[in-house]
Structure 1
């Protein structure tokens, strides 16, 4: 027919819309509410499906045919996104049709086809079929079959405007409709307990644009710890509905969500709270970045950070990747009385401001291991221009030796005491760090750990309990003296003659028979690898410059501790003091 009509100058229009719901032609209502179009049923097997989104309210479609001798007898039906029939019309004595229905927010399908004058809808087969016996085969024949029910139709429709939930990260992440950003019709699974809808995204640097213009629906994802390169981002996701979850974090700070930055893939999220441990790349860029989380009914809906979906929710978050903070060195046992001679050094990026809730915690390892002996509140302190923070005791002999570009904090009372301004020590007579088995933790916690609290109730060398459970551990290092029944709880632990108990998976260093007095990092190491650490006994030199002996590794024997507040052991010829 195409060849005959087109070669003879006749106007023949081929099938123009999809024949199934899966192949339905998508239409966007003009001004959000008007859906006007025309089409053709060009053979009796032709069915036209139109897909559209609607909000809560009523839909109405007036379907007409040619007023002069029409051949098309219209059947029309409306389906929801799952394919469930909402309503249909099959007028017997009118070639056109008027279809109305009340709908809720979602995606819908309008079906139009030509049928015989007496054909009926079969709900089991979802088909319009001729009755038995067929009226047009009787004598005299009545009506007509669908064979000639062909021709043009015209649709004038109105639908309630569909609104959707959008993200609000900067538009470099393809957030707005124009950029093809993520949008979810306000139905189906949700993150948290709230979902708002809007006509388009409201992107911005704080990723809170839709919260400012509607309800604050970013309630589904919590970032539970400080995010640092090479660390773990602890994330808690909650939902009251369940659904399929996908997530992205822009770790490289490029302003886009790269395929390699998808951190959660098609996770079947149950109702309630679910915790995720997300590895942070060692190369993660320091500073502000963004995360996007999407939930929907199926995996195919949300496996991309962009694109529209007929259900679910998207939530964008502004987050910060902070510089790593590490315990850089601790001098805890010197010849004679330690008072005034101990020091602790921490390291981070130059000028890093320490978050509230950050503490240095010293945990006992002798006898009743796991007891909190000392807490140093670091909140609000700032690393020096060279990235070092030095903690000194009162009347420290090292004050003149400390690099002037570092930040120095000195206790105001005997030893580490300062009347509780920052330092809390267990025991009225204690002024100094424990000489025996101990562990140093650099942590962030919701509240200051209390002295005497126990992180190892069963004394088996494995931290446990509610106290330890809320710590976000930034760094840790431990030491075990010659008592083989003692404990250390660090990510790395120096063990005298290899004895004592340590957590499974921690790094152990056999430091020989001599009990250490110093633990420090070599150069700019950050992790718990043994190659990045040095341990030693203080048996030579004198304050302010002590000398290591019985060192681990032994290549550090004779090395001076003359680098306080600066790079550890940075010397080619260490006999030439200072560094």
Structure 2
């Protein structure tokens, strides 16, 4: 490979705006382009013309014909002689100011363009299936951003100081670990030769000479614009370089480069260039945080496939936005003059572009996608607000138009107050908050009207109980005339507020079994190790706990809610050999969450932890069908499980797994020592003490905490387990111990914690293997057939999950993981 006039090119520019179909060899539409002959013929022509120029020791020139009677003379400033039958040339048109051209022929790929900025003309190269090359006129706005000028009267801020003082830029990241990356490059950039900029010549762009404060402010604006997506906006070159070239975009902030790269412009970019594998940057020629930040988002938007937002009448290329209540403008218009700017789908009057900005950028073309949803979109699974005394707090991101984030909190009754705010400056999210009672009834909607009024504050007088706070994006004014819809009202929010704590807390942790030793009552909230220690609870020192009705406690074996987890929905007198988990949970808790119970309720009660009259025997025998320890009850025996919480009033399903001898019989169930009768269930003859059957009955139970009991009216039984679940709610039977032990040996998952893809390694995977993903409440949140060794979990909210793998003829395999 020979390179002329420049060195150091790592990958040639793949020109923006090209039709992928044409680049792969489909013929252009009939009459849509001028036929330049075959690829081989065009390469020979270019090579001959370049060689002639070199032989005469002049700058080579090539003929760029665009029609039968029209051709340009292209001055070649950079050339690569590609292997075998390829050629890449970049330069400008002789005698045409503000012009440039690029043409790359390699294998079956032909791509390139000719740009005449002064006359607003452009041509594009492509090839058909026969190998013929075509050139055709195209809309210049589909190739490169033009005429995107600086704001009226713009002046750059005073410089920060000499270049030596700006050598190190503050390192900022908006979303570490995101799929893609945007670099705001403010400290100068050495543009290599061979790109579409500066007619293919190398160029040293000067530093923007910005203060750290202005770099931070610009980064904040651009970060919030791209917050819905899996994009890490950074100022750190090392972070940027860790991403592959086709998943990153450098935005050079360099006011001094305007005359060289795009004279008079506020910024410039090649459309769709984010996906190219060549590191061609986009440019911004302003260092003011607001103007430069708006331009940076605008130009990066171009690289992700977006076109300009203007108007048909009056005819204008860049819409400067709505007035009056809205005070809004589209990012792909000119957002310099409005406090709120959004991605748009052309909902304002006379819009000339109604493309769906969000869908284009999040689409498969750029492999970026949306951020994973961080909070539940409903009351079931609502995130508990963190509590410190009466104080409540939380935060999140509204990632999509339909996203609604739910939070739960408990109060002892009285006035509750909340402030819900987006970012301190350059916010996109216009917030509406809604307050619901424990049954899901709407108490109030809170929205501060008026363009630029993005935040919400409110107070309400509430009785003691559990409530839910919904955060959503909203609209302002009329999107057609003086405002905007909630389409791109997206971004960051934070919640701060206060609510009187429930008296005495809703869950009490005890140092010893049997509710003995040091006792600490906790209200609803999240408690890491530091928070527990501040309340007198030591690490690995919880042995029993009580839980009020309508609440549950999630225990974690590691700090900050990581490691193994156990959800306790009722009081537990001793966590030694606790049957709710697969291991001993005594003195194991390092962090915990006290939560409101959800409607998805399922509780499995093991026979060996029940209290019994008449001397029930707890037998350590083996169940061939599952391996559980069993309890035997004779006629007249009564099993009691203390403090079972039923979170909501409604219909519950009670199931029994039992075995009987030759004759069947009857079991009845009740609450609080028979004060509430739940009726009788007939048990069929199973023909043996280890021939198991499951029977059930449906009952109505009011919300509350009860002692639940079953009574053997006739005959005798081995009782394996009793399960109570809210009818209609998803529920999952816990695997038997022997089965779980075997499954544990054949299923490995990684990484754990996981961000996007969860990989599974198991002997059980074969044709027909199914998987389910259960959240912390036992609700199925994902399922399907395993077609390879991974499961996509990118859309799951942060939390603890269980993956269950079932394959024909194999034991069920389960593993917990953290998202």
TM-score, shorter chain, exceeding 0.5: no
Normalising by structure 2, report the TM-score.
0.24
Query: Where is the helix percentage greater, Structure 1 or Structure 2?
Result: 2
Report the structure number with the largest CA radius of gyration. 1
Normalising by structure 1, report the TM-score.
0.32
